[in-house]
Amino acid sequence: MRHISTVFVYILLGALAIPASAQQLAPEIPDTPSGKLLTRLINAFNSGEEEQWKDFIRDHWKEKEGSTFERRLEFFTMVYADVGGLILNRIEESDDYFISALLQAKQPSGPFEWVMMSLQADTLPPHKLDMLSVRPGEEPGFEAPEGDLTQEQMLDFLDRYLDNLVSKDQFSGTVLIAKDGKPFYTRAEGLASKRFNVPNQLNTKFNLGSMNKMFTGVAIMQLVEQRKVSLNDPVGKYLPDLPHPEIAEKVTLHHLLTHTSGMQDYWDEVYDAHWWEIKTVDQLAELIFDDSLLFEPGSDFHYSNSGPIVLGMIIEAVTGQDYYDYVREKIHQPAGMTNTDCYEMDTPVPNLAIGYTKMTSDGTPTPDGSWRNNLFTHVVKGGPAGGGFSTVVDLLRFDIALRGNKLIGKESFDTLTTGKTERGRGTWYAYLFQDKTVNGHRIVGHGGGAPGINANLDMYLGSGYTVAVMANYDGAASKVARKIEELLAR
């Protein structure tokens, strides 16, 4: 099912805005291994020809366990369907083996007109593509001001930035920025329901996407503190009847928490099943054990939504509680998160935002670029891997409780949030938390995204800031969170 994968590719894989025509023309690409690779990639991509895409993959993309030829070809197919080719606007950062660039879509039919592409070339000849990241980019002309800013200047710029997005119908959601647990900037824009013209408010519940993983990670660390589980134990110790011997024997809790288990995803299986009936961890678990492991556990990284499902099963087995009851009782309630849960979407939930996407049910852009609701593109109830709901206020409460050692002790917090697997320059993956350093500022948290779903929590550990952004538009929250990061992480 492409409707999940498209947003995943964008994630992995802006004073007044200056028109594109006013930007610099034909920027020069450095004559370095990374620059040459970027040139080849853009040329192959813009051909629109599958054979040229295949040639690039074969000749210039480094083989990696867990990254199949078909998956890489799917990247070309999906992104090209949305943008119709890419025009280089400027080089953002560059050295011999790394380069990032801002590009504009030739024919943007999807939700993104601007694309930020980053790639890492292998340091050994022939310098093949080692890492590729493609995500929504910022419209040129709305860069954050240089130099030190007063809080008033920062918030004035942020207001104008959000005004610009809202005027173009590119942001619908809520924003909260706090310092040492006290909010000093909040904003709510757009509609929670277009059909009934209901405005978003600060206490509107938005879909978390993958941010539920943080709750699963905290739950596991609570059990580690209680000595009910050990991070290096194999899964089979707690799930002896697991219908997949290789996972039971080789995969540890550490592997599941760091996406190094080799387990695949279960999204296609969800939509082949009666997805509207899936409301328990056991029902989710029935979808994930047919596939073989992509690689030997611990040898590579593959972001997997199946791993946290297994962790949810372990939580239930060890505590004797339903996963949802445990997280509600041990995490949400102690933190005061009164508007957070995995709600069942086939029953009315007060003050809950409907997601809106510019993608059709099969993942292609809507023909006229119109918004469509996403009710039939995600599961009826979230779980250990994602899909619950929360508010920006509750996410702040979660941060306060977590950093204040109300949920787990300081040593466990450090273990939970310290990066284990490097994912790029200054970015690591910890135990179902992301850990990155930007200009000397360490930021931990997680994001989530799918059609009509986007949310982000950033916890600035040194400076005490909390940034929570939630949206019911494709990619809208991540864009705002990155702009705030430019203002805070200086």
- pLDDT band at residue 272 under the 50/70/90 scheme: low
pLDDT in tens, 223-237: 999 999 999 999 999
Task: Tell me the pLDDT band of 110, cut-offs 50, 70 and 90.
Answer: low
Compute the average pLDDT of residues 23-46: 88
pLDDT at 16: 26
Quick one: average pLDDT of 54-73? 87
d(C-alpha 219, C-alpha 213), whole Å: 10
Range in 15-24, 66-75, 434-443, 478-487 the model is least confident about: 15-24
User: SS3 sequence, 395-416?
Assistant: HHHHHHHHHCCCCCCHHHHHHH
Q: How many angstroms separate the CA atoms of 363 and 359, rounded? A: 5
Q: Which two tokens stand for residue 447?
A: 């994001």
pLDDT category at 21 given cuts 50, 70, 90 is very low
**CB-based burial of residue 196 (10 Å sphere; 0-12 exposed, 13-18 middle, 19+ buried)?**
exposed
Mean pLDDT of 281-293: 84
Residues 262-281 have a mean pLDDT of: 71
Q: How many CB atoms lie within 10 A of CB 163?
A: 12
149-201 per-position pLDDT tens digit: 999 999 999 999 999 999 999 999 999 999 999 999 999 999 999 999 999 99
Q: What percent of the chain has pLDDT over 90?
A: 72
The band of 412, judged by pLDDT with boundaries at 50, 70 and 90, is: very high
> Helix or strand or coil: residue 390?
strand
Indicate the residue type of 28.
Answer: E
Closest CA to 466 of 162, 177, 246: 177
Convert the pLDDT of each residue in 199-214 to its tens digit: 999 999 999 999 999 9
Its pTM stands at 0.82
The pLDDT of residue 15 is 29
pLDDT at 274: 61
Predicted local confidence at residue 1, as pLDDT: 35
- Give CA separation, 457 vs 50, 379, 478, in Å: 38, 22, 10
- What residues pair up with 437 in beta bridges, in sequence order? 442
Residue ranges of the chain that CATH labels 3.10.450.50: 18-136
CATH 3.40.710.10 domain position(s) in the chain: 146-490
pLDDT band at 267 (very low <50, low <70, confident <90, very high): low
The CATH topology of domain 18-136 is Nuclear Transport Factor 2; Chain: A, (3.10.450)
What stretches of 161-307 adopt beta strand conformation (E)? 173-179, 182-189, 191-193, 198-199, 206-207
In whole angstroms, what is the distance from residue 80 CA to residue 362 CA?
15
For residues 297 and 257, what is the distance between their CA atoms, to the nearest angstrom? 12
Helices (H), 423-467: none
CA dist 145 and 124 (Å) reads: 38
Cβ neighbour number for residue 25 with a 10 Å cutoff = 6
pLDDT over 50 at 24, yes or no = no
pLDDT at 203: 97
**Which residue, 296, 310, 349, 336, is CA-closest to 213?**
310
Candidates 3.40.710.10, 3.30.479.30, 3.40.50.300, 1.10.1070.11; correct CATH number of 146-490?
A: 3.40.710.10
Mean pLDDT of 110-118: 81
- Average pLDDT on 411-431 reads 94
